Each structure stands twice: as C-alpha cells, then as structure tokens.
Chains A and B, each alone.
Chain A
Amino acid sequence: MLSIERWVRVISQYRTVPGADVPVVLSRSGPHGPVIHCAGPTAQARGILAGARVVDVQAIHPDLHVEAAEIDGDEALLQRLVHWSRRWCPWSVQDDDDGLLLDVTGATHLFGGEVAMLRDISQRFAMQGLTARVALAPTRGAAQAFARFGPFNTIATKDDLALRLAPLPVTALRLDDQTARLLHRLGLKTVGALADVPRVALMRRFANMPTDRNPLILLDRAMGKTTEPLNAPPDPLQFIARSRLAEPVLDPVPHLKGLAEKLCQDLAEAEKGARQLQLTIYRIDGEWRRVRIATARASRDAAHIVRLFDGKLDSIDPGFGFDLLTLEASQVEPVSRVQERLDGKRDTNADVAGLLDRLTARFGQDKVVWPAWSETHKPERVEQRVPALQGTPSAAPVLTRERPIRILKPAEEVSVLYAVPEGPPSQFRWRRVVYQTARYAGPERIAPEWWLDRPGTRLRDYYKIEVRDGHRFWLYREGLVNDGRGGAPRWFLHGFFA
C-alpha cells in the first residue's frame, strides 16, 4: 500500500487522481513483461493481487488504470520514515520493502501507554496520507506477523503470544515461497499447527536450511525462544552552524566567518569535509533565502569557504532584515587528518581544487569544464564538456588524422570557386576576404552517422587548404553533386591549422 499511497500523494500535485471506482495498479517490469507491483484499494476489492501479469489483469478488467511504479522513490521514502519514526523510540529499522520495526521497550509510558502509542502512530502516519497497520508484540517476528496478517492494533503480551500467533498462516513467519509450499503440502497451514509438530521432527527435516529461512528458527524467534536484536542504522550526521541575532540585520557577510569557523570545527572533529554548503537566512517576515556553493574536493578550510561566498551574498535579498542564519554542509565526505606528503611541499592538487571552487562559484558549473571524449566521426562531437566539479580530466583519444588546432562552432559557410565540383576550391571568400588556394591536402571523407544523424544528412569532404599568405584552413564540402540529398553542395569553413 505504501507505493500506491505515495503515488497518489505525488500525482495529486500534477493532475487529477483517478476516481474511486477506477482500479489503479502500479506496474514494474517482470521477466515476461510488466507485472503488478502494488494494487490500489479498488483493485484489491476486485481481487487483483500483486505479482499478476498486467496483460492478464487487463483482459479481465478492461478499465484497469496502469501506472509505472517508482521503486527507488518508495525505498527513499521508507528510509526517511525509518529516521522519522525515531520520534517514538531510539531504535528503528526497515522491515522488508514496506514495513518499519520499532523497538519501543521502555518508551511506551512517554506516550500514555501502549494503546495510546499505537493510536498516535496510526494518526501521525494518516496525517502524511499513509495507512499504517500497527501491532505490538514482545518479539520482532511476532510483531511483523501481527502487523501484516493479524487483526488491527493487536497488542500481544508474553503470556498470550502463542495463543494469538496460532491462527496466523505460516507465511506470517517470513518463510520463502518454496518452504511455505512445502509446509502446505505437509498440511501445516498455520503457525499453531507448525508449533504442535515435535521439535525433533522439524529439526531433522530442515537441518540444512539457512538460518533466515529455517521454519523452526523463525518460529523460535517469533515465540521469543531465541533472540533477534534490532540493528538500527545510525542517525545521519548533520553539520549545521546557527547564528541567532539579537535584532534583525541586513548584511550576512560579518557573520559568515564565525559560522564557517564553527562548522569547520565540527567537520574536523568528525574527520569530514564539505562538498556542498548552503547558507540560509531566515527573514523576519517569515521568508527564507538560500545560497548554495559546491567544492571540487571535500574541504573544511573556513577561509576558503568564506571566499567562495564572495559576490554571491550581494544577490541575496534580506527584505526587512533577518535574525537567524545557518550554514549547513549538505553533502560531506570523509577527510582524514593525516599528513599527505612527506617532502614537506604543498599539495598542488589541493591548490587546483581550490581554484576550481572559486571559478565555479563565480561563473557557474557549466562554464568551468574539463574536456571529455566520445567515440564519433563528427569532429564537433568528439569533444564533450563535463563540469569541472563533477568530472576529472581524461586523456585525449589518439587521432589518426591531423585535426585543426582551433575550430569554429558552428562552421561558417563560404562561397567558393572550384575547377571541378568534386575537387578542392581554387578560391574562397570568408568574412568578405578572398583567399587563393596555394596548396591543399585531402579530401578526407566523413560519412554521416546513421545511428545518430537525421535521415538526409549529407557526407562531408574535408580539405586542408593553405592559402597564398600561409594560413591553413579546414574546409569541407557538404554533400556531392546529384547525391539526391538537396541541391548543389555547400562549402563550410570549420577550423584553422596552426
């Protein structure tokens, strides 16, 4: 249900959600075409189950509304919920792909008892538009079994645990399909039936089964006979420096240095460096404004960080003033405090990284670039550009033919005189100047790339032409006479040789 509820929440911002009578399903790709990932309430009421093939279901229900599931998004939401749910207890962990497990030992009294706590959890999830099936049990295995298969808001205690677990199906123990089918075949359909079988028989039957699938071990865990501790992921570290001001001010610059120093101190203690930073001002009229910077390599140098904000704070609109400003490292990377070099010299790579930061902070990411290469025949496509903050310099490919040192983007059309239409020009006019060919090399034919170019793109014949006063140009004729792809071929000047 998590996927479909999240889908409704996202989609309602863009367009109208389908009506209550339309069965909605989310699909994901399966081995033999799309399968249903999650079915909406209407679809579930009609008996559509997750895992069925979309085409089959569509044949039965022609009015089925199919949408693509976004599994990564669901995963990210669940990860966030894991940390959000620590409002009730210090330990929480993700359970399967649609559940949360909370260890509320010793925390229930803070919310007015177990019943009140379950009600609070349901209400707070409902406020987010999510339906939560909650259950409380002494063991982890039992809790997830009650939440998935038991009645609503089950609260099991140690004494009635076995009694309440008994009517649940064996799949509630998180068995895999094969084992569940085997138990069904043996006639063990409920947890109670499984528990009644003598232990020795189960032990012998499932002796060489791995721990996480062994029915006996799973049963013991659910009953509390063996332990199953919760391995909760640590809270993400937040690096944020705040500065609360006694009265509103208009200029953030004087406070920036202190903030940066405080943040860098925190970063140094955690042996981290910031890759992305954001300065936020909270204005007295309730608005906030934010400035972001990025660095080429993780940094915790306060002076450097302050310098990157140079000129960026002029554009920030303080309104009638602000009384709180925060500097947050939104992306951090580990930076150890070890010495990098033994010869006592400066690390020149760090200098270059600092230069990249300053250039990028001033001109923007797409203006400061390293060249990147792609395998193509078209000269203007060989060179790509990657933002210097994200990419690294790579070695240029070895070109088999001589290429010009400078290139015009785009190529400029020239008018030419030629002796034969297939040959080089004897004279051409570029930017209102006439050049006479003295020597030439070529042609070098570059055919259109049919896998990239549009149909009808013409081939190019490139000539290296040296004119009377010594300049060496790179000209090409686009197409051939009577190639059936347009009229007379046109000529272009594409580059200059040194």
Chain B
Amino acid sequence: MGIESSYGQIVRLPKRVSAPPVASTQPEGPVALTDVLPAQPFDPAATGFILASLPDNDSPVLWIQDHMSGRENGHLYVASLRGFGVNRAILQVQVSHPRDVLWAMEEGAACAGISAVVGEIHGAPPVLDFTATKRLAMRAEVSGVAVFLIRSADPGGLSAARERWRIGTRPSQPHPHDSKAPSLPQWDVELFRARGRSPGRWVAHYDPAAQRATDRFRLVSHAFDRALGQSDQPVSHRSGG
C-alpha cells in the first residue's frame, strides 16, 4: 500500500502486523470438509475429536463406515456417547466398499436436515482421490453441512479438504483421587493444512462433564523449548501432506 506525499515521493507504509492465530476449533465460516488422520489406525482420539467438534444443534448425525474400518478400528459405541457429552441421534450406515461410503457421504452432505456427516475409510483406497474429496467439499459448501472424513491407515494423500488434522493420543490428565488411574482424555491435535487460518499444533483437553457444550473442548498450545513470544506455527518435526 502506498500514498503520495507532499514532496512527490512515494512512501511505503509498514505492513500491518497480523494478529497471532487464535487457538479455536471453530473458524469463521462453516467448514465444508475436514480430513481427520488418526496417528495410528485404530486411534479413537480421532473419533473423540470429531464428536467434540460436531456443530451445536440437535439434528441427527449420519455416520458411515466401510467394512474394513469396522473390522480394523472397531465400531462406534453409540451407547457411550451420552456419557461423552454427545446426546443426539446417530444414523449409522454400514457399507462394504469405500466407493459406497463416498456416495453416501455425498448424499448426506446435500441434505440440509442433518447436522454432520462422518465417513470412515480405511487404508487409502484408490477411489478416495482428489476428485472425490473435491466433490464432497463442494457439496458440503453449498448445503452448510459439516462433513468429516476419518482416513485411517492413510499416509495423507492429496485432498481438497478445507482443514486437515492429524490426531494422536496423549497420556490422560491426572486423576484427582487416584494417582494410578487414567482420567480425562488429552489429544495431540495438529492442523497441518487449512484454508483461511494458520496451521498449528495443540494439546486438546476434553471434559464431558462441563455444563456448556462450548466449554467441553479446548485447545492449549503445545509446550516446546523455543523463544518467547513466538506464535503457534506448525511444528517443524513433522511435515504435513
């Protein structure tokens, strides 16, 4: 940006310092398609992360799983979700082929009556290519339905997802009454590709007992040895896809 001064010279104004990225799970607009890559194939932290970041309404959630991810990573245990702080109807679809998962997700993404679509695909099949994710993302953008894709055992191929997360598990918080017992979960969440916000890496805390839905899930900065005042930049020891 430049302005003309009275001396006829062009003076360059200093660039505006951009505000450090805010550690929030909710970006400005609705997220069209979110890729979630579990750090380990069976890692349930990815499931927990998605359940924690579902849109805050009462509409049902469409949960689609292919045969392989059901066998390798287990099935969603809907009976436990109330204890996890998620109290809404879950429509489950069991299909055999990843192609059908993508078809069902597209159908769900086009339906404004549901709040979110979650698809699980195991092992990076060839049908899950850039075009498929692009179709999903565009459908979801039109309808405003949040679409999540759990890609387990996936090295992180090309994707048109608006946000891509890699979720791992961390040791849980200390139990207030029993030092030997695990307590509230903690996850290692890394946003390695995003549109409209900076990538970063955080530790996620989840407290299902919190009163308000927005209080249950919070991200805190990763504690690393580094200079003070640095913002949450992507951590260099992992390269995102």
Contact A396 B44 (CB under 8 A): no
A466 to chain B, nearest CB (A): 4
Task: Say if the beta carbon of A362 comes within 8 Å of chain B.
Answer: yes
Complex alpha-carbon distance, A399 and B62, angstroms: 23
Complex alpha-carbon distance, A406 and B84, angstroms: 12
Closest to B186 in A: A470
Contact A405 B48 (CB under 8 A): yes
Contact of B185 among A373, A379, A388, A497 (CB under 8 A): A497
A352 surroundings in chain B (CB, below 8 A): 59-60, 111, 113-114
Contact A355 B169 (CB under 8 A): no
* Given A409-B74, A498-B84: A441 in contact with B178 (beta carbons within 8 A): yes
Complex alpha-carbon distance, A466 and B170, angstroms: 10
Contact B79 A373 (CB under 8 A): yes
Contact B172 A406 (CB under 8 A): no
Complex alpha-carbon distance, A393 and B60, angstroms: 9
Task: Say if the beta carbon of A272 comes within 8 Å of chain B.
Answer: no
Contact B172 A368 (CB under 8 A): no
- Chain A residues numbered 201-233 whose CB sits less than 8 Å from any CB in chain B: none
Complex alpha-carbon distance, A404 and B44, angstroms: 9
Task: Say if the beta carbon of B232 comes within 8 Å of chain A.
Answer: no
- Chain B residues numbered 81-112 whose CB sits less than 8 Å from any CB in chain A: 81-84, 87, 89-95, 100, 103-104, 107-108, 111-112
B192 surroundings in chain A (CB, below 8 A): none
Contact of B95 among A350, A367, A408 (CB under 8 A): A367
Complex alpha-carbon distance, A455 and B43, angstroms: 36
B169 surroundings in chain A (CB, below 8 A): 469-472
Complex alpha-carbon distance, A388 and B166, angstroms: 33
Contact A470 B171 (CB under 8 A): yes
Contact B84 A405 (CB under 8 A): yes
A178 surroundings in chain B (CB, below 8 A): none
Task: Say if the beta carbon of B202 comes within 8 Å of chain A.
Answer: no
Contact A398 B79 (CB under 8 A): no
Complex alpha-carbon distance, A469 and B87, angstroms: 30
* Given A438-B171, A466-B172: A363 in contact with B104 (beta carbons within 8 A): yes
Task: Say if the beta carbon of B198 comes within 8 Å of chain A.
Answer: no
Contact A359 B104 (CB under 8 A): yes
A368 surroundings in chain B (CB, below 8 A): 91-93
Complex alpha-carbon distance, A404 and B74, angstroms: 11
Complex alpha-carbon distance, A43 and B73, angstroms: 65
A369 surroundings in chain B (CB, below 8 A): 91-94
A433 to chain B, nearest CB (A): 9
Complex alpha-carbon distance, A404 and B47, angstroms: 11
* Given A346-B112, A406-B75: A396 in contact with B172 (beta carbons within 8 A): no
Query: B-facing mask of A398-419, CB < 8 A → 1, else 0?
Result: 1100111111110000000000
Contact A407 B77 (CB under 8 A): yes
Complex alpha-carbon distance, A497 and B182, angstroms: 10
Query: A-facing mask of B51-75, CB < 8 A → 1, else 0?
Result: 1000000011010000000100111
A371 surroundings in chain B (CB, below 8 A): 78-79, 90, 92
Contact B51 A405 (CB under 8 A): yes
Tally of chain A residues near chain B (CB < 8 A):
53
Closest to B174 in A: A439
Task: Say if the beta carbon of A56 comes within 8 Å of chain B.
Answer: no
Complex alpha-carbon distance, A485 and B93, angstroms: 38
Task: Say if the beta carbon of B212 comes within 8 Å of chain A.
Answer: no
Contact A498 B206 (CB under 8 A): yes
Contact B89 A495 (CB under 8 A): no
Contact B74 A496 (CB under 8 A): yes
Task: Say if the beta carbon of A351 comes within 8 Å of chain B.
Answer: yes
Task: Say if the beta carbon of A136 comes within 8 Å of chain B.
Answer: no
Task: Say if the beta carbon of B127 comes within 8 Å of chain A.
Answer: no
B187 to chain A, nearest CB (A): 8
Query: B-facing mask of A243-264, CB < 8 A → 1, else 0?
Result: 0000000000000000000000
Complex alpha-carbon distance, A438 and B182, angstroms: 9
Task: Say if the beta carbon of A301 comes within 8 Å of chain B.
Answer: no
Complex alpha-carbon distance, A375 and B170, angstroms: 34
Complex alpha-carbon distance, A139 and B44, angstroms: 77
Task: Say if the beta carbon of A9 comes within 8 Å of chain B.
Answer: no
A407 surroundings in chain B (CB, below 8 A): 74-75, 77
Contact A399 B79 (CB under 8 A): yes
* Given A363-B93, A405-B77, A498-B206: A439 in contact with B182 (beta carbons within 8 A): yes
A403 surroundings in chain B (CB, below 8 A): 77, 79-80, 83
Which of B44, B75, B89: most chain A CB closer than 10 A? B44
Query: A-facing mask of B185-217, CB < 8 A → 1, else 0?
Result: 111000000000000000000100000000000
B175 to chain A, nearest CB (A): 8
- Chain A residues numbered 69-106 whose CB sits less than 8 Å from any CB in chain B: none
Complex alpha-carbon distance, A408 and B70, angstroms: 8
Task: Say if the beta carbon of A356 comes within 8 Å of chain B.
Answer: yes
A355 surroundings in chain B (CB, below 8 A): 62, 107-108, 111, 113-114
Task: Say if the beta carbon of B17 comes within 8 Å of chain A.
Answer: no
Closest to A348 in B: B113
A418 to chain B, nearest CB (A): 15
Contact A396 B82 (CB under 8 A): yes
Complex alpha-carbon distance, A282 and B42, angstroms: 51
Task: Say if the beta carbon of A140 comes within 8 Å of chain B.
Answer: no
Contact B78 A406 (CB under 8 A): no
Task: Say if the beta carbon of A458 comes within 8 Å of chain B.
Answer: no
Task: Say if the beta carbon of B181 comes within 8 Å of chain A.
Answer: yes
Task: Say if the beta carbon of A370 comes within 8 Å of chain B.
Answer: yes
Task: Say if the beta carbon of B180 comes within 8 Å of chain A.
Answer: yes
Closest to B92 in A: A369
Contact A399 B94 (CB under 8 A): no
Contact A363 B95 (CB under 8 A): yes
Contact A370 B89 (CB under 8 A): yes
B13 to chain A, nearest CB (A): 47
Of all A-B residue pairs in the complex, the 3 with the closest CB atoms, nearest first, are A498-B48, A351-B113, A393-B89
- Could you list 9 further interchain pairs (A-B, Cβ under 8 angstroms) beyond the known A396-B81, A399-B83? A351-B114, A362-B103, A383-B78, A396-B87, A399-B80, A403-B80, A405-B51, A407-B74, A498-B47
5 A-B residue pairs with Cβ-Cβ distance under 8 Å, sorted by A, are A359-B104, A359-B107, A383-B78, A439-B181, A472-B44
B residues sitting closer than 8 Å to A (CB atoms) are 40, 42-45, 47-48, 51, 59-60, 62, 70, 73-84, 87, 89-95, 100, 103-104, 107-108, 111-114, 168-172, 175, 178, 180-182, 185-187, 206
